[in-house]
């Protein structure tokens, strides 16, 4: 009987540690490795996605990664995450600075979100300093390259386990 209880507790903990996170990439992120390598690095989009999935699997986190250059599609990804994912990591790209529609979509679903940026938006042009979407997120990570995505997933992992003890 004692062994069954331990097995049940292990399975319960294992189930609680399994998270589903949606990573949403906005405009031009698909051009990584081609565009402005001095800002975004030389790794291409496909390899970045592989890296994110490898690092996520180390935490037993299932990740789906999507990308669009179209604002409405990004909103559809956000809305589609409701009741399907435990969290969102989003890099809205240039929409960060002016998309109230993406902000509203992020606010409309009650799951934790983390905004990430490959570059440090605060060290770049003045217009990039303001994020209208970050206020709809648990936090914002920028300036750490593609590792920012891993940091965002780690943050959601910690947030989930903090709230589900």
Distance CA 150, CA 25 (A): 14
- Is 40 among the residues known to form the active site? yes
Q: Is 6 exposed, middle or buried (0-12, 13-18, 19+ CB in 10 A)?
A: exposed
Domain assignment present for 9: no
Residue 162 confidence (pLDDT) above 70: yes
- At residue 132, what are phi and psi to the nearest 5 degrees? -85, -20
Distance CA 6, CA 118 (A): 43
| Tens-place pLDDT, residues 72-106 | 999 999 999 999 999 999 999 989 988 999 999 99
Name the catalytic one among 40, 85, 95, 149: 40
Name the catalytic one among 45, 85, 117, 149: 117
Number of domains in the chain: 1
Domain assignment present for 10: no
CATH number (domain holding residue 116): 3.40.50.9100
- The tokens 């969102």 sit on which residue? 88
Domain assignment present for 62: yes
- At residue 93, what are phi and psi to the nearest 5 degrees? 60, -140
| Tens-place pLDDT, residues 28-46 | 999 998 887 877 777 899 9
Domain assignment present for 28: yes
- Is 117 among the residues known to form the active site? yes
Banded pLDDT at 9 (limits 50, 70, 90): very low
- Per the model's pLDDT, the better-predicted residue between 165 and 62 turns out to be 62
SS3 26: coil
Domain assignment present for 125: yes
Quote the longest CA-to-CA distance of the chain: 64
Domain assignment present for 11: no
Domain assignment present for 89: yes
Q: What is the span of the domain harbouring residue 154?
A: 20-163
Domain assignment present for 115: yes
């Amino acid at each position: 009987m004692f062994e069954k209880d331990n097995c049940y507790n292990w399975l319960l903990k294992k189930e609680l540690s399994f998270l589903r996170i949606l990573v949403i990439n906005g405009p031009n992120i698909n051009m990584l490795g081609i565009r402005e390598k001095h800002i975004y690095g030389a790794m291409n989009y496909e390899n970045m996605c592989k890296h994110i999935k490898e690092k996520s699997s180390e935490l037993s986190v299932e990740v789906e990664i999507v990308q669009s250059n179209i604002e409405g599609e990004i909103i559809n990804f956000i809305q589609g995450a409701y009741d399907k994912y435990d969290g969102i990591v989003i890099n809205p790209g240039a929409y960060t600075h002016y998309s109230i529609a993406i902000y509203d979509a992020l606010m409309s679903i009650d799951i934790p979100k983390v905004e990430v940026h490959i570059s440090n938006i605060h060290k770049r042009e003045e217009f990039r300093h303001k994020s209208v979407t970050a206020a709809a997120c648990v936090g914002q990570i920028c300036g750490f390259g593609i590792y920012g995505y891993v940091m965002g997933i780690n943050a959601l992992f910690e947030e989930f386990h903090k709230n589900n003890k």
